[in-house]
């Protein structure tokens, strides 16, 4: 079996953590009609200038479960990404934080 890069393994692991968390809160989400029971999936802050990559990863995370809320870096490109994600998924918000660069 070919070895996968560490970055790919980290992404796969993170998606599994988000999926399991969403699964745990899904009953709350469903019982509240989608008002409560969200879990946050945060995008890599190093993507703060790459709108298309942010949106691509966010759509992938949100596709894991309907109660996954996406935290997007609050850069100019990130705000554009939030707008696009709200149109596509209805589940995104800007997250202020420190740039890891």
- What amino acid positions are annotated as catalytic residues? 71
Cα(101)–Cα(84) distance, integer angstroms: 25
Beta strands in the chain (DSSP E): 39-42, 68-73, 92-95
Using CA atoms, how far residue 68 sits from 57, 60, 78, 80, 99, in Å, is 12, 10, 18, 19, 23
Contact predicate 6/60, CB 8 Å: no
């Amino acid at each position: 079996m070919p070895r996968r890069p560490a970055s790919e393994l980290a992404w796969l692991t993170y998606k599994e953590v988000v999926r399991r968390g969403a699964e745990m809160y899904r009953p709350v989400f469903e019982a509240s009609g989608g008002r409560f029971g969200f879990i946050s999936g945060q995008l890599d802050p190093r993507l703060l200038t790459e709108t298309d990559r942010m949106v691509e990863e966010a759509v992938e995370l949100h596709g894991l479960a309907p109660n996954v809320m996406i935290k997007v870096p609050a850069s100019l490109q990130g705000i554009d990404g939030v707008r696009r994600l709200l149109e596509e998924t209805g589940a995104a918000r800007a997250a202020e934080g420190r740039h890891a660069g």
